[in-house]
């Protein structure tokens, strides 16, 4: 449910916002919003001067436990129509994928999946392929999250390359994010592109 607030309260409607982005993140531990909810949210945000929507529901198995698996075609079609609406209204629609090892469990996954192997080209390619339909639909800001995940990899390839500990996990994140960013920047061909993380 959206809470009706006035986004421009306390400043003139024509004044620039005090932040680089103003918007909403759908990131709670609960049922994801429906397609109709998201369309309503995008329209409301545009009408109130907000410019970013981040799709990161924690109970979306395709974004977390089953991050390797493609979204079903009907869901991809919903996302594409939301991205198109958001683009027309000046709102960035940002998909978020969280390929780490969750510390807080979500709903049971229909297909068991493991955390990403940062050192494995096949896993990196799988993550890029997961984000590709969003990019193809017009999303020019993507997000890869590592919040609420264990700061460790379960893969021996990563342990051999990076070692253990917070610094090692940070280096794994850095290398993955840089690789994915370069992949999509090349496709953007000089047009604006952003990769967010948390």
Domains of the chain by residue range:
23-189+192-196
| Reported CATH class of domain 23-189+192-196 | alpha beta
Q: Between 16 and 173, name the one with better pLDDT.
A: 173
108-165 pLDDT, tens digit per residue, is: 654 555 799 999 999 999 999 999 999 999 999 999 999 999 999 999 999 999 999 9
Record the pTM. 0.87
DSSP 14-48: TSPPSSS--EEEE--SSPPPPHHHHHHHHHHHHHT
Would you give the distance in Å from CA 106 to the centre of its chain?
Answer: 17
What 8-state DSSP symbol labels residue 107?
S
- Residue 71 pLDDT level (bands cut at 50, 70, 90): very high
* Catalytic residue annotation: 148
């Amino acid at each position: 449910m959206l809470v009706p607030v006035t986004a421009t309260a306390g400043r003139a409607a024509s004044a620039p916002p005090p932040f680089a982005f103003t918007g909403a993140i759908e990131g709670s531990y609960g049922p994801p919003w429906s397609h109709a909810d998201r369309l309503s949210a995008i329209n409301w945000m545009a009408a109130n001067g907000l410019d970013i929507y981040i799709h990161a529901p924690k109970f979306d198995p395709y974004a977390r436990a089953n991050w390797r698996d493609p979204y079903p075609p009907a869901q991809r079609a919903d996302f594409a129509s939301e991205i198109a609406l958001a683009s027309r209204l000046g709102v960035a629609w940002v998909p978020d994928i969280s390929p780490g090892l969750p510390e807080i469990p979500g709903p049971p996954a229909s297909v068991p999946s493991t955390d990403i192997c940062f050192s494995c080209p096949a896993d990196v390619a799988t993550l890029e392929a997961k984000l590709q339909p969003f990019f193809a639909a017009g999303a020019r800001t993507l997000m890869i999250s590592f919040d609420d995940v264990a700061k460790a990899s379960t893969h021996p390839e990563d342990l051999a390359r990076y070692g253990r500990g917070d610094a090692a996990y940070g280096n794994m994140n850095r290398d993955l994010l840089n690789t994915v960013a370069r992949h999509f920047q090349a496709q953007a061909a000089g047009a604006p592109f952003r990769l967010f993380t948390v």
